[in-house]
Amino acid sequence: MTRRAPVGLWVAGVAVAALAVLPAVYLGVRAAEADAHAWALLLRDRTWGLLWRTLGLAVSVTGCAAVVALPLAWLTTRTDLPGRRVWTVLLCVPLAVPTFVGGYVLLATFGAGGVLEEPLSRWGLPVPPVYGFPGALLALTVSTYPYLFLALRSGLLSQDPAWLEGARSLGLGPTRAFWKVTAPLLRPAFVSGALLVGLYVLSDFGAVALLQYDAFSRAIYVQYEGAYDRTYAALLGLALVLVTAAVLFVETRLRGKAGYHRSAKGAARVSSPVSLGRWRVPALLLCGAVVLAGVVLPVGVLVYWGVRGLAGEGDAVLEPAVGSVLASVLGAVASVLCALPLAFLSVRYPGRLSLVLERASYAGYALPPIVLALSLVFLGVQALPFLYGTLAMLVLAYVVRFLPQAVGTVRSTLLQLNPHLSEAAASLGQSPSAVFRRVTAPLLRPGLLAGAALVFLTAMKELPATLLLAPIGFRTLATQVWSATAEGRFAEAALPALVLMAVSALGVGLLVSQENETPRG
């Protein structure tokens, strides 16, 4: 071996990776300690009910999202739909709506004490059933269809128009050509988008908890809050992890072996768009309806309640905002600092160990957030009592949860950094620390800032870990929306929710701009 990493770097890398896998390992240990009684508890009918409701919601949301996303993706890429670019942007806006805000919007519109309760009762109409399955289905479909929409769009855009033209010249009509050529070739894009949606639903806490749909994550939270024996909560968490793993396993089997690549090299040709003709108006109505549900309704309801909130029903924005910013800034800085050794090892000293360490950093991200939060609660109570209940514990949770985002950004920045630069600096007489200070750090700065910004914007809207781990009396915008909504104080939740939407819109914008920088194959 010639190029050995400094020992300090390995120590730091191993420490961070250990931190990242700690919650997952702890959860396993905790579950392994469970006795026969606990297992009997887990395997009773209630758990099976949770499993079917969770999977049922995931499948239903994925199906509904597909029904919405496929026509929208096709309309915005292959047709002469007026305003395709504007529609594309508007259709992605729901990515900026955290699911608990989606739940809030439903409740604040249709629920008891919502905007429509009075007008509806005046006309003698019943309040629509927003709690439970219908509400969760609607809220999560609106929040998640953009993932499928974007995946299908990029799938459609990367298809060589010559394939479809070939099918047409072989005598297939446009509809048959779509189903025989375009649709089968979209399968990889569909599977990856559907997987994103499904995993999102499995791990969602905000919408199911607010709308009181009894899926795993809500049951875990209720169990944690209500019962003094938290073993059942841990077992439920483990069960949810197993379900997630099973879905991932099935997906790798489904994905198939065929890779679909354009055969000829060179710039993609753009096929001439399909003329919609008399279908133009229905197509516009469809786009309009989705934008109405995903953008106009949330913003309208939030503004409505926000104005009423300003009028005096509540003014609690400033203090939670300060809390959110404080916790998120600390989380962002700590995540980037922890990401540095892992990214350095994986880029500059590639090998089995550095790969293992980098992969380990994803452990906290793979756990459903409520499970991660629960595991950290156990860990804090039993092993780190001096940290438990402090802001440091919350920051730790953010680091474990958002480390992969930071590692990804720092890694890609490092990859663009020519290793000859630090060698040149060394051969010009600079010590390793001077090389870092004068060359590496200035060149890394933009990437580190982008990584920190990304973590900051994501941490701002984090709910479950903040609920479980924040110090007593410490409020953030997300917990403010949560508690005010749960108690029906819609006006108090509106302004924090609006601020969060604006912040996460910034985050989505940052993500999209980073994706545009990396060329797609």
Among 47, 192, 212, 430, which residue sits at the site for other proteins (rule: CB under 8 A)? 430
Q: How many Cβ atoms from other residues are within 10 Å of residue 265's Cβ?
A: 6
DSSP sequence for 105-125: HHHHHHSTTSTTHHHHHHTTP
Q: How far is the CB of 410 from other proteins (least distance, A)?
A: 17
Among 169, 272, 382, 431, which residue sits at the site for other proteins (rule: CB under 8 A)? 431
Candidates 6-14, 25-33, 206-214, 422-430; binding stretch for other proteins (CB under 8 A): 422-430
E strand or H helix at 404: helix 391-415
Contacts of 292 (CB under 8 A, 6+ apart): none
Q: How far is the CB of 413 from other proteins (least distance, A)?
A: 13
Helices 490-517 and 318-348, packing angle to 10 deg: 20
Q: How many Cβ atoms from other residues are within 10 Å of residue 322's Cβ?
A: 13
Closer to other proteins by CB, 56 or 442: give it. Answer: 442
The site map against other proteins for 434-463 (x = CB under 8 A) is xx--xx--xx--------------------
Closer to other proteins by CB, 187 or 348: give it. Answer: 348
In order of 97, 295, 327, 475, the CA distances from 494 in angstroms are 13, 15, 21, 15
Helices (H), 43-83: 45-78
Q: Are 115 and 109 in contact (CB under 8 A)?
A: yes
Closer to other proteins by CB, 113 or 446: give it. Answer: 446
* Amino acid at the residue 51: L
Residue 6 binds to other proteins (criterion: CB under 8 A): no
Question: What single-letter DSSP state applies at residue 228?
Answer: S
Q: How far is the CB of 421 from other proteins (least distance, A)?
A: 5
Residue 355 binds to other proteins (criterion: CB under 8 A): no
Helices (H), 270-351: 280-291, 297-308, 318-348
Question: What are the tokens at 204?
Answer: 């969602």
Among 428, 487, 502, 513, which residue sits at the site for other proteins (rule: CB under 8 A)? 428
Gyration radius of the chain over CA positions: 25
Residue 425 binds to other proteins (criterion: CB under 8 A): yes
The site map against other proteins for 391-420 (x = CB under 8 A) is ---------------------------x-x
State the Cα–Cα distance between residues 159 and 153, nearest whole angstrom. 10
Q: How far is the CB of 350 from other proteins (least distance, A)?
A: 13
Among 3, 85, 257, 265, which residue sits at the site for other proteins (rule: CB under 8 A)? 3
Q: How far is the CB of 14 from other proteins (least distance, A)?
A: 23
Closer to other proteins by CB, 92 or 448: give it. Answer: 448
Q: Which residues bind other proteins (CB under 8 A)?
A: 1-3, 418, 420-421, 423-432, 434-435, 438-439, 442-443
